[in-house]
A and B are shown apart, each in its own frame.
Chain A
């Protein structure tokens, strides 16, 4: 297991290098200039100076190598210095956003908490709803509950979040007036009242994304349970006199969770992908909103860094999913 993990980690390095290069070049090829948001009245030589100051006039490979060095050395070193008061980074230049001149990672550090609280909660809620629905639907296959679960999953599957989100806003914010339409990023939870406020403003994005996630995961859970319910070992467990509870929630569930855990792990990076649409819809000032803003402003360092972080997440969670699979299924041996 350990050697497998190490080997996969080593393999991830060249993979990520190739991905980073592709991302860098693709983003660079995209039309647009960092000056597109600057008023036309600014004279050309001032513009040129601004571009030079940003380093945007350098050839793409120079910028790539610099970015690599910044991403893999300067930024971790800065982070380390921040924690332990050392001075590894030695005041070297960090990756700067062209748009705001602030270090990209500082911006990300500010945005991530919003994304994690809202989108992360949505994913968690989705899982917590999906698992019982999936388990019970399978246990009572074709029952009314199962049919309703299927309907629910179909809706969650087929309705895109920008539509269901809008619908939810119309129902709960506009018509019923239960929740605020706009997410207030500056709200700090200090007491009970602000906590309730926070819950209220999280409710709609969590509902929207939670529904979509629950739909997918409940289907996986159901079909995995059904696959296992008919297995011979289930009959053995019953023949031993085990209660239905033990048969279903121990023998069957333990087997059924193996593929579901994998799907859940693989889906975690999509939290950030899904964030892009939902955050914009509800005005959550998170990482997805940061990405969209950076794209509009041709803020290449920001876009490249974020895209690469997504890639790292996807590769990592693939590895995590494989390791989990090996841990959960004694038949799998990685060596």
Chain B
């Protein structure tokens, strides 16, 4: 890739397993993706598809035990986050990589005021003293649109509304000017108007600060509104990956197509009832040896039962740079003649 700058984040072959009493759960199976500088990568998939576990694996946020990262590499610049010491990893967390969680009501510590909670990473990573951290905290609160910022530093989380708390969480995640911001369903717990405000805020901050963002959501509408590129996850794997326009215009994987049918259309007349995808997402007790989606797939054929499909590009671009899909039913461009035997 001579014409491309190196990606900020490059994940290869990530495998995460939970060892529980009932056996192993293979939550992330050989996931590879990268994140360009300044890019917004959307991640969609049903509940349990491994979105959160993937992202938390990157920066060691999973409790271990039960979580165990079996293999892979996570390159942030030239640091492999899976190889460095816990102390080095802590230096990365909150500094180079910011994280926003789903539930703003419980994500802040109830007994410390928000001034303290914003100042913590500033003092830890930037070596600021109290006064500097305070000044920066005010700046950050203003940046995320909290009025009267200076006065609110002494307030406790319960004195803020849900939307305001999520803004505080964003301020914390952005405190040290991270290269990568990971947002794990940051608006799911908020009502629609607040959700729209937070989306606007993130769009605006992206332009201002230029960090790359990974945005996890169930909501394809949100993806359409903000993402540059989309990754669809199922059964702990990436089943389809494409620039956002391509994915919406030309979905390949049966699962993606089904997902797209589940969103209500705002424009057209409602000709059909909204569809649901029949069946349950799988719980992976072993590494996949067959297609994880086969039981719910209307196109499944015998090969799907015996071989886990690999990702292949449908546009002759290298994997991850164009549009790729992991499905036996979808023909790869090279083997177009042989796919439908």
Contacts and interface: CB of A to CB of B under 8 A. Distances in A.
Interface stretch (A24-32, A75-83, A238-246, A308-316): A238-246
Contacts of B111: 254-255, 258, 328-330
B121 A241 contact: yes
Contact of B110 (A235, A241, A242, A255): A255
Interface string A309-335: 000000000000000000011110000
A272 to B, nearest CB: 32
B293 interface: no
A328 B108 CA distance: 16
Interface string B70-106: 0000000000000000000011111100110101001
A254 B112 contact: yes
Interface string B124-167: 11000000000000000000000000000000101000000000
B169 to A, nearest CB: 7
B158 A331 contact: yes
Interface string A215-233: 0000000000000000111
A331 B106 CA distance: 13
A233 B114 CA distance: 12
A62 B251 CA distance: 95
Given A236-B169, A328-B111, A241 B106 contact: no
Given A232-B101, A232-B103, A331-B158, A239 B109 contact: no
Contact of B109 (A233, A241, A243, A328): A233
Interface string A241-273: 111001000010011001000000000000000
A237 interface: yes
A329 B59 CA distance: 31
Contact of B90 (A232, A233, A243): A243
A329 B156 CA distance: 10
A233 B117 CA distance: 10
A239 B99 contact: yes
B108 A241 contact: no
B330 to A, nearest CB: 37
Nearest to B97: A239
Contact of B59 (A233, A239, A330): A239
Interface of A is mostly: helix
A255 B101 contact: no
A238 B89 CA distance: 10
Residue among B101, B109, B121, B173 with the most chain A CB within 10 A? B109
Contacts of A232: 101, 103, 106-107
A96 B112 CA distance: 53
Contacts of B125: 241
Contact of A255 (B94, B109, B121): B109
B187 to A, nearest CB: 16
Residue among A231, A241, A251 with the most chain B CB within 10 A? A241
Contact of A241 (B92, B107, B112, B156): B92
Given A240-B93, A242-B120, A233 B108 contact: yes
A331 to B, nearest CB: 5
B61 interface: yes
B230 interface: no
Interface in A99-150: none
Nearest to B172: A240
Given A232-B103, A330-B156, A330-B158, A240 B109 contact: no
A233 B107 contact: yes
Contact of A238 (B93, B106, B173): B93
A306 B112 CA distance: 42
Given A232-B101, A236-B101, A242 B108 contact: no
Residue among A236, A243, A255 with the most chain B CB within 10 A? A236
Contact of B94 (A231, A241, A331): A241
Given A233-B106, A233-B107, A331-B158, A240 B121 contact: yes
B61 A239 contact: yes
Contacts of B93: 238-241
B218 to A, nearest CB: 19
A232 to B, nearest CB: 4
Residue among B59, B61, B99, B107 with the most chain A CB within 10 A? B107
Given A254-B111, A328-B111, A330-B110, A240 B158 contact: no
Residue among B99, B120, B172 with the most chain A CB within 10 A? B120
Contacts of B169: 236
A240 B101 contact: no
A115 to B, nearest CB: 35
B61 A241 contact: no
Contacts of A251: 109, 112
B108 to A, nearest CB: 6
A251 B124 CA distance: 15
Interface string B15-54: 0000000000000000000000000000000000000000
Contacts of B103: 232
Interface of A: 231-233, 235-243, 246, 251, 254-255, 258, 328-331
Given A239-B59, A239-B98, A330-B111, 16 more contacts: A232-B103, A232-B106, A233-B107, A233-B110, A235-B107, A236-B172, A238-B93, A240-B172, A241-B91, A241-B95, A242-B94, A243-B90, A251-B112, A329-B110, A330-B110, A330-B158
Interface of B: 59, 61, 90-95, 98-99, 101, 103, 106-113, 120-121, 124-125, 156, 158, 169, 172-173
19 contacts: A232-B101, A232-B103, A233-B110, A236-B169, A238-B61, A239-B93, A239-B101, A240-B94, A240-B120, A240-B172, A241-B90, A241-B91, A241-B95, A241-B121, A241-B124, A242-B120, A254-B109, A329-B110, A330-B156
